[in-house]
Amino acid sequence: MKCPTCGCEKFYIKDTDDEYELYEFTAVNGKIEFDATPETQNIPEITAEIETFCDKCAWHGKFETLK
């Protein structure tokens, strides 16, 4: 999966309760791997509708738009 704007494979999502809490992940070959953090138990579920942000450029959109 790559960013539709810049091709980056690293993304993040925001916590639904605290928009300043970010969860970074890579999406290689359709497999999501979160960066190792102690807060991994609180990671929101990745659904097709969750707003996803590119880690490199200003792109953001629904997770389902990533290819």
- Which of the listed ranges 8-12, 15-19, 28-32, 39-43 does the model predict with the highest average pLDDT? 8-12
Retrieve residue 31's tokens: 């497999």
Q: Cβ distance 4 to 54 under 8 Å?
A: no
Q: Mean pLDDT throughout 32-56? A: 82
In a domain, 12, yes or no: yes
Q: Global pTM?
A: 0.84
Q: What is the DSSP code string of 8-57?
A: --EEEEE-SS-TT-EEEEEEETTEEEE---TTGGGPPP--TTSEEEESSS
Domain that holds residue 8: 1-43+54-67
At 9-20, the pLDDT tens digits run 999 999 888 888
In a domain, 49, yes or no: no
In a domain, 61, yes or no: yes
What is the four-CA torsion angle of 1, 31, 33, 18, rounded to 10 degrees?
Answer: 70
Amino acid at 36: A
In a domain, 30, yes or no: yes
In a domain, 13, yes or no: yes
Q: Mean pLDDT throughout 44-52? A: 89
Q: Is the pLDDT of residue 37 over 70?
A: no
